[in-house]
A and B are shown apart, each in its own frame.
Chain A
């Protein structure tokens, strides 16, 4: 189970370069990190979304593993089918190339996971397929032009929740998908970021090792949708955790555990917000209360989480 740079550096990079992700994309970094741990015996499914598009522009593919795409709303169902076929063939001794274990990983963005794909994800988790679902959460529909999603944070400007004279970006907080997945009583649920590489690798290892479904929610700073210097993506994922916007925790068989304890004097949320163009309007005079509201929400959520983790 040990994860260290020495072993990881020897693992094969299963997502090749030359794909068409934006400069400074943290999503391709997330996929590479996951695949370093998952290894070659992995079947990957991708819901429609930016990472599916940029890695599989036909006739090219960046994947050195089998890859399945179906549609926006049913990646979890498609991987359910693949995993079921594997089990059936294994049982009947008809696997063309016998493998003791194959990992089944479904990737979806927040649009394909929080919103349109939630039904098929919920079904797959409830049925108990031996699969890992990874949500790369960049907090809006970046592939179709930055529309708001159920993951978009309060106050963020998007093309369908624009900031203007009447409204100041999205007027709802994001839904807590990670906890929705916990409520499915599956063996493993966690959230992490690409900055915390060791945390991420440990979580991928655990998620693939459990018997049954697992879910990872990974924050993916998006240079285009969030509006920041492409050099700062990984830094912003670190800062999201430091200001408690994206705490790192895992839930193993229902037991919550913090995997990173933030400092007692957490970073104020404005430090994170002010790095991003999508929150620029919050810093206009008269909008101070909106930042106060975001901080209140972050503090409330953190308080609830610490209680669940037995840290309160």
Chain B
């Protein structure tokens, strides 16, 4: 295992290659373009494929085509490009195909800017495209996780035959950190039972999301729903720091969780019992754990780079048992430690809810 200093965006490509992905389709957009640059350099050199599509719509549909062959495949973009991919993602989810889609979130809505934001939380965790479907969403908060969660994303995609989104932000994509490169390994899945490869073993398989009979489509939706329930039960991941005795539990993901982490000890030095709960899976959301923690005298604060999106899931988990506060910055503005500490002080000492 080697250790290298690299950008988060490059770490995604390293993770993808070590996970055995050899088919990348992309389209240029800041701040995600480095992923395509690195893929263009390394995928063909390792016997894989890199294709720059003529649009985001084409890139996601190339993924659809390759995923149908049961081959590990991915695309990456940033918020406006991720919006364009939604129809394709709905088809991929409806057809139950595995793939990985990276969204290095930038400021929105509309053109917004190219600075980091977490404004696509709703779009990523609530479906995004049309119909009843879910993306599994993994939120890395460092370059190492950009790599490791990409490896995990491919395994989850294959395990559940479902698209997985890496919900990164401009910061985690652009910042450079040391990354321990995981060992490459063979893909531990055999998709012969459902994929289509034009050979004798798969010639009876059919990949489709069309069910013209209402009863059939309902059955298909219920089958998907059953799968999503299994994922919600088995695949929740979160990280906790000092939550057990906390009077204030801050819920944060991505770059914000790094900042919150740095404030926990400072807050405790000031006599405020603060803890951090970091969802690693944005969907499935760690609702059960938050519900458990809410059954005592505690307050929650959802800190996000948006105007309040994940806070709705925190409230749904808390079900009114505890006060849930929100603090957000957006447009590329990122809260500093002092700013957050001031907010903790207001909540814990000001009694504001």
A contact residues vs B (CB 8 Å cutoff): 48, 69, 71-73, 111, 114-116, 118, 141, 143-145, 147-148, 150, 159-162, 164-167
Contact = CB atoms under 8 A, between A and B. Distances in A.
A77 to B, nearest CB: 14
Interface string B32-67: 011011001100110000101011100000000000
B30 interface: yes
B41 A115 contact: no
Contact of A111 (B28, B30, B44, B111): B28
Contacts of B33: 144-145, 147, 159
Top-10 shortest CB links A-B:
A115-B54, A144-B28, A116-B55, A147-B28, A160-B40, A159-B37, A141-B28, A160-B52, A145-B33, A144-B33
B29 interface: yes
B27 interface: yes
8 contacts: A73-B84, A141-B28, A144-B28, A144-B29, A145-B30, A148-B52, A159-B33, A159-B40
A31 to B, nearest CB: 19
A162 B36 CA distance: 12
Contacts of B80: 71-72
Contacts of B26: 160
Given A73-B84, A111-B28, 11 more contacts: A73-B55, A115-B54, A116-B27, A141-B28, A145-B37, A147-B37, A159-B33, A160-B40, A160-B50, A162-B40, A165-B45
Contact of B52 (A48, A161, A166): A161
Nearest to B50: A160
Interface string B4-39: 000000000000000000000011111001101100
Contacts of A164: 41, 45
A22 to B, nearest CB: 16
Interface in B108-161: 110-111
A167 B42 CA distance: 12
A147 B34 CA distance: 10
Interface of B: 26-30, 33-34, 36-37, 40-41, 44-45, 50, 52, 54-56, 80, 84, 110-111
Contacts of A162: 40-41
B44 A115 contact: no
A78 B196 CA distance: 40
User: Could you say which of A72, A145, A160, A166 has the most chain B C-beta atoms within 10 Å of its C-beta?
Assistant: A160
Contacts of B50: 160
Nearest to A117: B55
A116 B54 contact: yes
A116 B40 contact: no
A124 B55 CA distance: 18
Nearest to B44: A166
Contacts of A159: 33, 36-37, 40
A150 B33 CA distance: 17
Contact of B111 (A48, A145, A166): A48
Contacts of B45: 164-166
A141 B27 CA distance: 10
Contacts of A48: 111
Contacts of A116: 27, 54-56
User: Could you say which of A116, A148, A161 has the most chain B C-beta atoms within 10 Å of its C-beta?
Assistant: A116
A71 B84 CA distance: 11
Given A145-B28, A166-B45, A115 B36 contact: no
B333 to A, nearest CB: 16
A48 B30 CA distance: 12
B28 A160 contact: yes
A144 B37 CA distance: 11
Nearest to A165: B45
A204 B54 CA distance: 28
A20 to B, nearest CB: 14
A107 to B, nearest CB: 16
Contacts of B110: 71
User: Could you say which of B28, B34, B41 has the most chain A C-beta atoms within 10 Å of its C-beta?
Assistant: B28
A188 to B, nearest CB: 26
Contacts of A165: 45
B80 to A, nearest CB: 7
A111 B40 CA distance: 18
A176 to B, nearest CB: 15
A167 B34 CA distance: 19
Nearest to B39: A160
B203 to A, nearest CB: 33
B56 A71 contact: no
Contacts of A143: 30
B124 to A, nearest CB: 20
Nearest to A145: B33
A73 to B, nearest CB: 6
Contact of B36 (A111, A150, A160): A160
User: Could you say which of B36, B41, B54 has the most chain A C-beta atoms within 10 Å of its C-beta?
Assistant: B54
A69 B110 CA distance: 10
Contacts of A69: 111
A159 B54 CA distance: 15
Contacts of B37: 145, 147, 159-160
A114 B54 CA distance: 8
A174 to B, nearest CB: 13
B12 to A, nearest CB: 15
A297 B29 CA distance: 31
A138 B37 CA distance: 19
A115 B52 CA distance: 11
A144 B30 contact: yes
Nearest to A114: B54
